Amino acid sequence: MNYLTQISEASNFLKNLHPEPVENLIILGTGLGKLGDQIELDLEVDYADIPHFPVATVESHSGKLLFGKLKGKSVVAMRGRFHYYEGYTMKQVTFPVRVAKALGVKRLFVSNASGGLNPAQEVGEVMILSDHLDLFPENPLRGPSPEEFGPRFPDMSEAYSKRLIKMALEIGSEMGLKLHTGVYVGVTGPNLETPAEYKYLRIIGGDAVGMSTIPEVIVAKQSGMEVFGISAITDLGVEGKIKEISIKDVLEAAAKAEPIMAKVMSELIGRC
């Protein structure tokens, strides 16, 4: 089936369930799932019930779409995202962003868990994304490019909104929160990096490394959305601080960062 038709069928299905316009899409990655509990819920939809929607396979991603209000603003939140390493194509990974655009979404707020590359960072701290380095082997814009998607060659000189970054840092200062800013490196995964790879990623300009976010951001920018990204530092790839970790360790570190991320994200959405 044609990709545009799939997007149309999914968005029409959701519009029938929730006719009110939605302006903000939140991707609740590892470390921000509980922010969904703060949403004044109008509707909850399982991914499995939405036409052509992928189904999350990662244990920390539950797979539900939440419609409602957060700080008085209309939002749709993804409780669980899709990753390239799960075997999905980039078109499947970014399908929810295309659907969100069809629902009228103007802003993307995306969160993730990442490995810290900057020696100034500690586990459980939070980094606001100022830019990214895309090391994925496939680009979500590869292939046919219908006019409905936006420009064929979207500008990425401001992938992450300077306006929203400034607001978030002001919120952090007001609340006494420690916030880093830095460059996020996107890699395929699912294995974590070797010490040599961590060193390489730091040399080329990375402050944190993860396995998500960049595909969604690229599609959001092509679609004309304003983007804000935030990351929980769940382990360290800094020489002398590298140690063996498990998914349990990652989730525990993300839980430590979650209150900070939730405060910043909810207040930021409220001020947009």
Do residues 242 and 122 lie in contact, with contact meaning Cβ atoms separated by under 8 Å? no
Show the beta-strand stretches assigned E in the chain: 24-28, 40-46, 64-70, 73-79, 107-116, 126-134, 179-186, 208-210, 226-236
Domain span at residue 239 reads: 3-271
CATH number, position 205:
3.40.50.1580
* N-terminal to C-terminal alpha carbon distance within the chain: 37
Looking at the 3D structure of the chain, how many domains does it have? Answer: 1
DSSP of 5-34: HHHHHHHHHHHHH--S---EEEEE-TT-GG
How far, in Å, CA of 21 to CA of 73, rounded? 11
The per-residue pLDDT for 109 is: 98
Q: Which whole-number Å values give the CA distances from 34 to 31, 39, 99, 154, 262, in the listed order? A: 8, 10, 23, 33, 8
3-state secondary structure of 227: strand
What's the pLDDT at 59? Answer: 56
Distances (CA, A) of 104 to 19, 22, 150, 190: 11, 6, 14, 33
Cis peptide before 190 (omega within 30 of 0): yes
- The predicted pLDDT at position 1 comes to 72
Strand partners, 64: 46, 79
Please, which residues have CB within 8 angstroms of residue 77's CB and are 6 or more apart in sequence? 25, 26, 27, 28, 35, 36, 39, 65, 66, 68, 70
Q: Do the beta carbons of residue 159 and residue 216 sit within 8 Å?
A: no
Which residue stretches of the chain have pLDDT < 70?
31, 57-62
pLDDT at res. 57: 66
- How far apart are the C-alpha atoms of 43 and 65, rounded to whole Å? 8
Give 182-229 pLDDT, tens digit per residue: 999 999 999 999 999 999 999 999 999 999 999 999 999 999 999 999
Measure Cα distances from 64 to 33, 36, 102, 150, 245 in Å: 11, 10, 18, 27, 28
Q: State residue 234's pLDDT score.
A: 95
Token pair in block for residue 56: 């999350």
pLDDT, tens digit, for every residue of 48-73?
A: 999 999 987 655 546 899 999 999 99
- What number of other Cβ atoms are within 10 A of residue 199's Cβ? 15
User: Residue 231 and residue 116: Cα distance in Å, rounded?
Assistant: 10
Query: How much is the CA Rg of the chain, to the nearest whole Å?
Result: 17
221 closest CA partner among 72, 108, 61, 84: 108
Q: What is the pLDDT of residue 155?
A: 98
